[in-house]
Amino acid sequence: MKTKSSASRQCDPLSNVRRYGTHASLTPSERALLDALVEHGGVTKAARALGLGEKSTASRMSTIREKIGATSSADAMQIWRDRRNSA
């Protein structure tokens, strides 16, 4: 049996925004990772550029994708590019 909270989370397309807020909820290190991702074109290259491990970077990207509502790292790159260009 599904609980009320799990059912509402599945049906609510804005649940991540309500849960985490907007792009403003990204930490400075998450913003730096997105900047490196856009600049270097991939998670592995961004991790190397920042001196981070690939697994920890992949884990951070999972959190970032959830916060900004992206479905993939490529989607996160596009969302971040659009946000930077509109600012």
pLDDT in tens, 29-83: 999 999 999 999 889 999 999 999 989 999 999 999 999 999 999 999 999 998 8
Q: Given CA atoms 52, 49, 44, 60 in this order, what sign does their dihedral have? A: positive
Higher pLDDT, 1 or 29: 29
The answer to whether domain 21-86 has CATH 1.10.10.10 is yes
Predicted local confidence at residue 49, as pLDDT: 93
DSSP per-residue codes, 40-78: HSSHHHHHHHHT--HHHHHHHHHHHHHHHT-SSHHHHHH
- pLDDT score of 10: 53
- CA distances 53 to 11, 20, 50, 56, 76, Å, are 35, 25, 9, 5, 19
One-letter amino acid of 3: T
Position 16 scores a pLDDT of 44
Domain ranges of the chain: 21-86
Across 13-37, average pLDDT: 71
